[in-house]
Structure 1
Amino acid sequence: MNLRQIEYAVTVAETENFTRAAQACHTVQSALSHQIARLEDELGAPLFERSSRRVRLTPAGRAFLPAARQLLHDAQRVRDEVAAASGQIRGTLAVSLISALTAPDVVALLDRFHGRHPRVDVRLTSGMSEAMLADVREHRADVAFVGLWSGEEITGLNTLLLCDEALVALLPPDHPLATRSQLDLQALAAERWVDYRAGSSARRQTDEAFSAAGYDRHVHFEIDHLGLLERIVRRGLAVGMVPAGLAAGLPGLAAVPVRDAPTRRVYCVWARQPTPAAQAFIELVAEAAKEA
């Protein structure tokens, strides 16, 4: 068993395709397939169920994958730690953030980071908080900026609380409630709603608030990105809730404070043992948090 075989197997698991995995690993498919076959022989169990359309993990493959990712992470960490001891921070920095992030300015932080550490390969993605937490735990991301409802705990990761944000009602300008100086959940309960997917942390912020207040509401549109929420509200199809700081950047829509509004907590999260590149970036985030 060697690191190259493990890398090939992890890439196949992530792409669910031998051809795409070979391309991602910059090798030919026959060589990748041969190395994975050797790895399976050594492990004494098949890792993948192969079909003409898709590749799926076997039970043995599902047991293999977390440990394999950890091995690859640890091997890269050894290289990066040795380089850092010589005064060079290099490797990769994978950062994820929610689309509704209002602060800090992650792009500005990455620009500052690149100026200090130009040898680090920076990658940036966006997504839902719960998926990004899993990515950090499983070493698919180094650092994530997530928004959680106030009753949710984060386990197994380092955290830096950046802010607590109250949500405001987001309404089309011609909505009957748009001219109010303040609303409450009772006034909003009967409206058609656009919100994030059921079960997501972003959705629980509003679900828990309405449940605690004793009001039912109906979510007609489920989305996973702020841009779609904005478009639905602009068309007058539904009302939504967004952080107050974010609503300020949506001209033409009415943002009305809500007396008993839910809140979200915004965190920066990272692994218990960050890479040198991740540690350097986290220090920048902490600096920005103190300046805010």
Structure 2
Amino acid sequence: MDLRQLQYFVAVAETGSFTRAAERVHITQSGVSAQIKALEHELGAELFDRSGRTARLTDAGSVALRHARAALDSTLDLRDAIDDVKGLIRGRLTIGMVTGCEVTPLFDALAAFHRDHPGIELELTEANSDHLVAGVRTGSLDVALAGLAGEPPDHLAAQIIVSEPLVALTPPGSELAQRGRVPVAGLTSYHIVCLPVGTGIRDVLDRAVLAAVGVRPEVALVATSPDTVAGLARRGLGVAVLSESMAAAHPDLVAVPIDDVGIPALLALIWQDRASPALSAFLKHCRAAFS
């Protein structure tokens, strides 16, 4: 017995005709008749009463029809499930990213994934890194691009995109620019402009100053965008503390190295290590985009 025989059997039962069943399944009438006879031989019972003008189910045929339909339905369910895995026909992927941080390779990965799998609904959420980490841990986010201080969180898989030091960004000609370097403890003598609590950059700053002087730094001005942080420093409102790559976007300002921080600022993709097929496919695009 095979699925093709069950398909032909159901077609004859539903149409009441070997001829119409053959038209439905796109083979000859003799082919349908031969397969039904083979099925009857295997089951040891006639499935149709062929004495009239229509093919009527026998008692055995009526019982067999319920099971044949169930078997075909299960086959369709199986095919749909495999299609979801292999073809990623449908589904949803929730992605988090740091507020105000435009990362071109992530957008490239999103675009490439959408082209390959248009049936997958994409949802993009911006938040501070602490909320992104919590979202991945609870499962409300499938994956997030987050700023981290030091090592990625335990129990989460991660791909580190950037690992770099913090710098102090200041206008040319300022006292700090003339010094050329600053110890992390020395930052406390300046008005500091930085990203908010919950971001990776701020976490690195807070932990480094706390380790150096025993207290958290007083941040005079807070902005959610690295560009805004740099803009405030440009206008003399304080010393901007950002990562090296963020500072590179503002060549009119001087990036002064901060000594003795000891903790790298990381930008990393994080996800739970039980990836769904959609997430696995998206991560492949991310690896290609960030390579």
* TM-score range for the pair, normalised by the shorter chain length: 0.5 to 0.7
Indicate the structure (1 or 2) with the bigger Cα radius of gyration.
2
Contact kept in structure 2, 1:98 and 1:127, CA below 8 Å: yes
Report the residue type matching 2:127 in the other structure: G
CA apart distance, 1:79: 11
Match of 1:56 in 2: none
CA apart distance, 1:86: 5.4
Normalised TM-score (structure 1): 0.62
Output the CA distance in 2 between the equivalents of 1:79 and 1:213.
60
Match of 1:220 in 2: 220
Tell me which moved more, 194-203 or 165-174: 194-203
Output the CA distance in 1 between the equivalents of 2:82 and 2:250.
47
Structure with the bigger percentage of helix: 2
- Secondary structure at the aligned position of 1:237 is classed as coil
- The CA deviation string for residues 76-104 of structure 1, in whole angstroms up to 9 with x for no partner, is xx999543245234322221112475867
- The CA deviation string for residues 32-53 of structure 1, in whole angstroms up to 9 with x for no partner, is xxxxxxxxxxxxxxxxxxxxxx
Match of 2:21 in 1: none
Contact kept in structure 1, 2:105 and 2:286, CA below 8 Å: no
Output the CA distance in 2 between the equivalents of 1:275 and 1:223.
35
Match of 2:258 in 1: 258
Report the residue type matching 1:231 in the other structure: G
Output the CA distance in 2 between the equivalents of 1:100 and 1:81.
38
Aligned length: 212
Matched, 1:134 2:134: yes
Equivalent positions of 1:123-272 (< 5 A) are 123-150=123-150, 153-198=152-197, 201-214=200-213, 217-261=217-261, 262-272=263-273
Instruction: State, as a whole percentage, how many aligned pairs show the same letter.
Output: 30
- Secondary structure at the aligned position of 2:259 is classed as coil
- Secondary structure at the aligned position of 2:208 is classed as helix
Match of 1:109 in 2: 109
Equivalent positions of 1:85-104 (< 5 A) are 85=85, 87-99=87-99
Contact kept in structure 1, 2:201 and 2:243, CA below 8 Å: no
Report the residue type matching 2:187 in the other structure: L
Output the CA distance in 2 between the equivalents of 1:86 and 1:244.
41
- The CA deviation string for residues 249-287 of structure 1, in whole angstroms up to 9 with x for no partner, is 124222122232442122211123333221101122233
Normalised TM-score (structure 2): 0.63
- Secondary structure at the aligned position of 1:93 is classed as strand
Match of 2:279 in 1: 278
